A and B are shown apart, each in its own frame.
Chain A
Amino acid sequence: MSLKRNILDLRKRKSEVLKGGGEKAIEKQVAMGKLTARERILYILDEGSFHEYDMFVEHVARDFDMDKMKLHGDGVIIGTGTINGSPVCIFAQDFTVAGGSLGLMHARKITKIMDHSLKMRVPLIGINDSGGARIQEGVNSLAGYGEIFFRNTLASGVIPQISVILGPCAGGAVYSPALTDFVFVVNNISKMFITGPGVIKTVLGEEISMEDLGGAKVHAEVTGNAHFYAESEQECFDQIKKLVSYIPWNNEQKAERIAPAEPKSKKKIENIVPADPKMPYDIRDIIKSITDNSDFFEIMEMFAPNVVIGFGRMEGETVGFVANQPKVLAGVLDCDSSDKAARFIRYCDAFNIPIITLEDLPGYLPGADQEHAGVIRHGAKILYAYSEATVAKITVIIRKAYGGGYIAMNSRHLRADFVFAWPTAEIAVMGPEGAANIVFRKEIAEAEDPEAMRQLKIQEYKDKFANPYVAASKGYIDEVIEPEDTRKMLLHALKVSANKSISGPRKKHGIPPF
């Protein structure tokens, strides 16, 4: 007796499952401009590296005629593979099978691969394309979501977790991506919301399209739920591969080091920055004149662009950049930019990525809307995140470092390891205009020509305090450096910090101002 028959039988069974939801459903998926779940996985992973598990899992629901249905793989594909040779765990919901709806076994497949990724200490990638809970499975599908959320939280800060929204992701389903580190969205394809347009219309009488409510752009620009925005699925997958190249497999390792390279940018660094501290420039030009190959992989590019965050490499090693952006809103800190920076600082800290802070800000954004939106609570997150971080923390003060902004942007007082300042740095309690108005209020009011006196006093203050030397005289900054030496100084600081070791008081965990 040969085994041929058994092998042929296995192949037949597998080819059945590979059909997913069948030709018609796949046609529909393609018509929506979407790839199938399997195509997506194959695109993201290295060629030939994907291995699928639980292909033959079937749903267990018996009510509502569910026993007569055949749902291949119960609407989700799980497995392992590699990206640029690094192992990852992956799952992809298959919208062609019962709308990718989440039932008990569907959820069990996802939690199985999540447990696997946590145990193996490798990144997890989840592709979401699902109509939501499978109503026929009732409370079992709710249980499924809860089990997923719990594992997201358990794995948080241990392994990188990446969520890709490639279809609807509504109701409770949105909270798994929200708990993960990076969320990717694609224009016209991704939809995320708690309550859909239909319900909003009947209950609230507000008419809003799905795209305006929770489309890719909304989440990339307004809500801050998405970290990466792409025009196509392929572009999105290339972003994922790039991200994976910058981050370590888990919290006990460092990101893979690649061959060092000098910056490509030909711009002289000191020509990028206008001497007038009130004039804007693009801080990303500074970052690119510092990093290897002038590469900068920006995160949350469209959300709160008054602070810039992202990864670059210094002599082949990944570093995280947090930088004020004078080009947008003068680079002020506000609710959104504080949230954005704080979360990124905590990410870098959790995954052993040194943080380089480039500082040039006039302070926090004034306004009743900001105060009422809780800028105190949100702004506190950035203080918390920097203070708590134990990775190498290096600050370069380019121009303005005023008031609360100076303290918040990784100052010496929050235990920065190195603080460098350009000779253009102004480290002061506030800008000369504001300070002169307060300190010399009486002189200005009583002067014959108050405006002339005001200008005189502003100049006086500027000459005395708008420089790095007052702070340098107190040791709050370590060295005033020439702009051209910035990369050299950073490389040296990173080298010295390589074995940094500090520990705080023992505690279960802190209570950050979420």
Chain B
Amino acid sequence: MQEEEKYETIIVHSAVYKTEYTTKYRNRVKWEKPDENQLFSFIPGTIIDVFVKPGDVLKEGDPLLILEAMKMHNVVQMPFDGKIATVNVKTGDKIPKGSLMIEIAAKK
């Protein structure tokens, strides 16, 4: 059955259907559980200032950096108490949305 081989499959309620995919379906973003220790940019913009370096131990709410976007200065804060593991941006960087800016050390 050569005919069958060119089809993709879709599973709905345990039944396997032979069918074709659309480009949009192929390009869909698969969901992943977010890692709370990774701080991504929520909007594209420019890094105006970075206040922290790796190894810094900080309290929840401490300012980490300023991300300028759409003429607004957004202060990115520490989401919870912890230690900075890596800082991936420096002053002047232009970053797209969803880029990893800072990583917090995983809690033991």
**A, B from the same assembly:** yes
Which A residues are within 8 Å of any B CB, using their own CB? 203-206, 221-222, 278-280, 304-306, 326-332, 336, 362-363, 365-369, 372, 402-403, 430-435, 437
Residues of chain B within 8 A of A369, CB atoms compared: 28-31
Closest to A369 in B: B28
Q: Is the CB of B12 within 8 A of A336?
A: no
**Known contacts A204-B44, A369-B29: A278-B20 contact under CB 8 Å:** no
Whether the Cβ atoms of B18 and A362 lie closer than 8 Å is no
- Is the beta-carbon distance between B15 and A362 smaller than 8 angstroms? yes
Q: What residues on B are CB-neighbors of A278 within 8 Å?
A: 15-18
Assess A437 versus B20: contact at CB under 8 Å? Given A205-B95, A205-B96, A372-B31.
no
Closest CB of chain B to A158's CB: distance in Å? 33
The contact string, 1 if C-beta is below 8 Å from chain A, for chain B 7-28, is 1001111111111111111001
Asked if residues B15 and A326 are in contact (CB atoms below 8 Å), the reply is: no
Check B19–A280 contact: CB distance below 8 A: yes
Closest partner residue, chain B, to A206 (CB atom): B96
A274–B12 Cα distance when bound, in Å, is: 19
Interface residues on B, range: 20 to 34
Report if A280-B7 is in contact (Cβ < 8 Å); known contacts: A205-B94, A434-B15: yes
Kindly count the residue-residue contacts between A and B in the assembled complex, taking CB atoms under 8 Å apart.
89
The 7 lowest CB-CB distance pairs between A and B, nearest first, are A434-B13, A368-B31, A330-B17, A433-B14, A204-B44, A362-B12, A431-B15
Are B14 and A434 in contact, CB atoms less than 8 angstroms apart? yes
Q: In the complex, how many angstroms separate the beta carbon of B23 from the nearest chain A beta carbon? A: 7
Interface residue from B12, B20, B31, B94 paired with A332 (Cβ < 8 Å): B12
Q: Compute how far the CA of A362 lies from the CA of B14 in the bound complex, rounded to whole angstroms.
A: 11
Q: Are A328 and B22 in contact (CB under 8 A)?
A: yes
Q: In the complex, A402→B12 CA distance in Å?
A: 10
Contacts A278-B18, A279-B18, A329-B22: A205 and B44 contacting too (C-beta < 8 A)?
Answer: yes
Contacts of B70 in A (CB 8 A): 203
| B14 neighbours in A (Cβ, 8 Å) | 431, 433-434, 437
Q: Measured between C-beta atoms, what is the minimum distance from B39 to chain A in Å?
A: 18
Q: Which residues of A contact B69 (CB under 8 A)?
A: 203
A221 to B, closest residue via Cβ = B23
Instruction: Let me know if A329 and B19 touch, CB within 8 A.
Output: yes
25 example contacts (A-B, Cβ-Cβ < 8 A) are as follows A203-B44, A203-B69, A204-B96, A204-B97, A278-B17, A280-B18, A280-B19, A304-B22, A305-B22, A328-B20, A328-B21, A329-B10, A329-B20, A329-B22, A332-B10, A332-B12, A362-B12, A367-B28, A368-B31, A369-B28, A369-B31, A431-B13, A433-B13, A434-B12, A434-B14
Residues of B within 8 A of A435 (CB): 13
Whether A327 touches B13, Cβ cut-off 8 Å, given contacts A369-B28, A369-B29, is no
What is the CB-to-nearest-CB distance from B93 to chain A, in angstroms, rounded to a whole number?
10
Chain A residues near B10 (CB-CB < 8 A): 329-330, 332, 362, 365
Q: Name which residue of chain A comes closest to B17, CB basis.
A: A330
Q: Chain A CB within 10 Å — which of B25, B69, B95, B96 has the most? A: B25
Contacts of B19 in A (CB 8 A): 280, 326-331
CA of A331 to CA of B18, assembled, Å: 11
Cβ contact within 8 Å between B12 and A222: no
B22-63 Cβ-contact flags toward A at 8 Å (1 or 0): 111100111100000000000010000000000000000000
Q: Which of B72-100 contact A (CB under 8 A)?
A: 94-97
B104 to chain A, nearest CB (A): 25
Residue among B17, B94, B97 facing the most chain A CB atoms (10 A cut-off):
B17
| B31 CB contacts on chain A under 8 angstroms | 368-369, 372
**Contact partners of B11 in chain A: CB under 8 A:** 366
Inter-chain CA distance A329–B23, complex, in Å, is 11
- Contact call A280/B17, Cβ cutoff below 8 A: yes
Assembly CA distance A329 to B8 (angstroms):
9
CA of A282 to CA of B24 in the docked complex: distance in angstroms? 20
Query: Which residues of B are found within 8 Å of A206, using beta-carbon distances?
Result: 44, 96
Determine if B13 and A362 form an interchain contact, defined as CB atoms under 8 angstroms apart: yes
Contacts of A329 in B (CB 8 A): 10, 19-22, 25
User: B25 and A430: CB pair below 8 A?
Assistant: no
Complex CA distance for A403 and B15, rounded to whole angstroms:
14
Assembled-state Cα–Cα distance A369/B27 (Å)? 11
Q: A328-B19, A369-B31 are in contact. Are A402 and B13 (CB under 8 A)?
A: yes
Chain B neighbourhood of A306, CB < 8 A: 22
A431 to B22, CA, bound (A): 23
Q: Whole-angstrom distance between the alpha carbons of A430 and B13 in the complex?
A: 7
CB contacts (< 8 Å) of B7 on chain A: these are: 280
Find the A residue at minimum CB distance from B31: A368
B16 proximity list for chain A (CB < 8 A):
278
- Rounded to whole Å, the gap between the CB of A442 and the closest CB of chain B is 17
Bound CA span A243–B66, Å = 54
Contact between A363 and B12, CB atoms less than 8 A apart: yes
Complex Cα distance A398/B21, Å?
Answer: 22
- Taken together as a complex, chains A and B put the C-alpha atoms of A305 and B23 apart, in Å, by 11
A431 — which chain B residues lie within 8 A by C-beta? Answer: 12-15
* Residues on A with beta carbons closer than 8 Å to the beta carbon of B28: 367, 369
